[in-house]
Chain A
Amino acid sequence: MVRLFGPLVGLFFAVALLWSFGNGAYNAVTQPTPPTAEALFHMHPKEVKFSFDSAFGTFDKAQLQRGFKVYQEVCSNCHSLKQVAFRDLGQLGYKEAEVKAIAKNWGNKAQTFDPKTGDRGERANLPSDHFPPVYYAGQGVPPDLSLIAKARHGGAQYIHSLLTGYTDQVGYKNEAGEELLKKFPDAKTPDGLYFNPYFANLNLAMPAPLASDGQVTYSDGTQATVDQMAMDVSAFLTWTAEPKLDKRKQTGWPVLGFLLAATVLAYLAKRNVWADKH
């Protein structure tokens, strides 16, 4: 029975697939799909190096502090960071008093609700609070940035490229030398959106947030170029997405070392046990 029906079922699926294939091939020839503007002009992130890239790499705390400052002064106007608590900033090297001060002076206050009176109000943030929500009334929905570095292909490199990738759409050419608006006249960025070839569909609602050098004043004397600020905030957002990165790698090496030793011993034990059987 199996040998009778099996080949019939197999041929049934094969013919159905052939039919789909034929239709697909016919359509591909008669109505070829033209390439989209996104396919030809979307750019992969720039290759930049971060201190935490390699298997031995760790966060650079000074950079994370600078990146936090960029978040505080620029990004936090529109973007929340709700998975992170103020207490977590201690991991960036801030002292307890500094963390308290940052929480207390944070512009967005913690919301309170008194269940007895029904009164709503606000109070200063405490280190135990998470970063408060940010309400944004303008166009677009600024995403929460807590996990953004893990939620995008390319991670920190992508964030850096996006922040430094804003450019004039008029006259923009890709690496193949094709001019976007000549090839796709309809791809003109709509009003209220901004052109950025590193963004998946080339236009996003966020204007270039890092507009000029010196926009943020670093307390450690680092020159705040746009590229530097973009690097620092990308590193900071990698930390917010993966705060245990350092601990993870530091744990990984002894674990692998132990396993290597144990595996060598297991191999020798195996050879020993099998010595008389080969």
Chain B
Amino acid sequence: MSFPWANDYKPTNPLMQWVDQRLPLPRFVYNAVGAGYPVPRNLNYMWNFGILAGFALVLQIVTGVVLAMHYAANDKVAFDSVEHIMRDVNWGWMLRYAHANGASMFFIVVYTHIFRGFFYSSYKAPREMIWLLGVVIFLLMMATAFMGYVLPWGQMSFWGAKVITGLFSAIPLVGPPLQEWLLGGFAPDNAALNRFFSLHFLLPFVILGVIILHVWALHIPGSSNPTGVEVKQESDTVPFHPYYTAKDGFGLGIFLMLYCALVFFAPNLLGHPDNYIPANPLSTPAHIVPEWYFWPFYAILRAFTSDFMFIPAKLMGVLAMFSAILVWFFLPWLDTSPVRSGHYRPMFRKFFYLLVVDVLVLGYCGGAPAAEPFVMISQIASMYYFLHFLVILPIVSSIETPQPLPFSITEAVLGKDESATLSPATPAIA
């Protein structure tokens, strides 16, 4: 679907005409990210992060495929093969640092993208499917990143794999055999390393497939926008190209500068020193911590320290950690306010900022040692996390009085226009 005023693809180049008649791929691209896709004219820079996430994925695939040409997935040599890449492969150090920091940048961008969705309620009808697919992408990303971190076969790789697969052993009855089945052994070993490598290579392409669905679903209703008011007329939109390609180009420049500053000047800033120690099953690190992007969820996992109504604390932690993400699937039905944008929802906005602080606190506690006061802080913060999504959002959306919305996107950008006065009876909340 597209708006009736969308530009039609009319190639002038005879070669493109020839291709278009036989395989309308150029037309497809033109309608997806070219001048054929009308986009609200008022998108702010928070709308850059979808493209940036796609760019980060391509970056990871390109660097990853080349790294895989030099890496050896065998527990005897994996660690040394990574050092071989760092020392003897031409530009290998750059590829590896680009890939490791690329994962961090990917998560920074995706977290921003997700929180953009929270603030502007991008998950609301008719865009629920985009949101659901997005959560699937995030889950796949987490699995991919986790398995990628195991590949260098350092201390944190090994112990991280042991802890995370150990989560499955908390499941009643089938847990321990399930963990053995996942690992191909009783502890992370060559079998685990090999299957993690195989899946780490496969999953990014699965992510790519789901991204195509995500973007496809996006093109049905079209992009949302900071006012949350739907597109009503042609003056509300601009063609994606050149307007948003230009804006995304600038955003990409900023992204690349931050990324390259990390890669070239602080490549190990976000990593853990222990992963430069070869994996040793007989020596447990003092503090086992995952990569920074898992810290909020790790804090939720560790917040459950007491058994609760016959449910072991470990199982509670695992249930809560997975629920912390699964709850996002239900967001479109938990937040029932007819107004989308946080700009017009004063009460919602306060809780949104509280959630941002809450997740940052959870992240800090997840990276800290499992000791007081961090455990108690993460218990309070986890409590708010669940209450926010499951209790506060439904209540806020029913009791809040939203501020008046602009009549149209054009009005929001240019002030009251003449066409708006023609329909004074239109209610503020469409």
Contact = CB atoms under 8 A, between A and B. Distances in A.
A48 interface: no
A146 B80 CA distance: 11
B161 to A, nearest CB: 19
Contacts of B380: 17, 21
Chain B's interface size range is: 35 or more
B394 A251 contact: no
Interface stretch (A3-11, A58-66, A101-109, A175-183): A3-11
Interface residues of A, number: 56
A25 B380 CA distance: 12
A173 interface: no
Contacts of B83: 83, 146-147
A163 B340 CA distance: 61
Nearest to A146: B83
A6 B243 contact: no
A24 B305 contact: yes
A17 B383 contact: yes
B379 A259 contact: no
A244 interface: yes
Given A83-B80, A263-B250, A266-B252, A11 B243 contact: no
A13 B253 contact: no
Interface string B287-327: 00000000000000001111011010100100010010001
Contacts of A83: 80, 83, 87
Nearest to B263: A252
A258 B383 CA distance: 47
Contacts of B413: 278
B352 interface: no
Given A10-B386, A13-B382, A152-B273, A244 B304 contact: no
Interface in A41-94: 55, 83, 88
Contacts, number: 165
Nearest to A243: B87
A211 interface: no
Interface in B365-391: 371-372, 375-376, 379-380, 382-383, 386-387, 389-391
Contacts of A244: 86-87, 93
B333 to A, nearest CB: 4
A263 B257 contact: yes
Given A24-B305, A256-B260, A10 B391 contact: yes
Interface of B is mostly: helix
B390 A262 contact: no
A111 interface: no
A17 B379 contact: yes
A247 to B, nearest CB: 8
B17 interface: no
B94 A251 contact: yes
A151 interface: yes
Interface stretch (B19-27, B133-141, B169-177, B264-272): B264-272
Given A14-B387, A153-B273, A277-B243, A20 B286 contact: no
B354 interface: no
A270 B306 contact: no
Nearest to A240: B87
Interface in B36-57: 41
Interface centre among A15, A20, A243, A266 (most CB of B within 10 A): A20
A151 B94 contact: no
Contacts of B323: 9, 13
A143 B280 CA distance: 12
A137 interface: no
B257 A269 contact: no
Contacts of A278: 413
Given A146-B83, A150-B268, A277 B238 contact: yes
Interface in A242-258: 243-244, 247-249, 251-253, 255-256
B308 A19 contact: yes
Contacts of A3: 333-334, 336, 394
Nearest to B275: A151
A270 B303 contact: no
Given A249-B264, A252-B265, A17 B382 contact: yes
Interface in A206-249: 241, 243-244, 247-249
B141 to A, nearest CB: 24
B330 interface: yes
A139 to B, nearest CB: 16
A97 interface: no
B428 interface: no
Nearest to A9: B390
Contacts of B195: none
A124 interface: no
A18 interface: yes
A200 interface: yes
Given A10-B391, A19-B308, A256-B260, A24 B372 contact: yes
A259 B87 contact: no
10 closest Cβ pairs, A-B complex: A10-B390, A252-B264, A263-B253, A151-B276, A2-B333, A16-B308, A273-B246, A21-B379, A270-B246, A266-B249
22 contacts: A6-B330, A6-B334, A7-B391, A9-B390, A11-B387, A14-B383, A14-B386, A14-B387, A17-B304, A19-B306, A20-B305, A20-B306, A20-B308, A23-B306, A33-B372, A83-B87, A88-B87, A147-B277, A252-B260, A266-B252, A269-B249, A273-B243
Given A16-B308, A274-B247, 5 more contacts: A14-B387, A21-B376, A151-B273, A200-B286, A266-B250
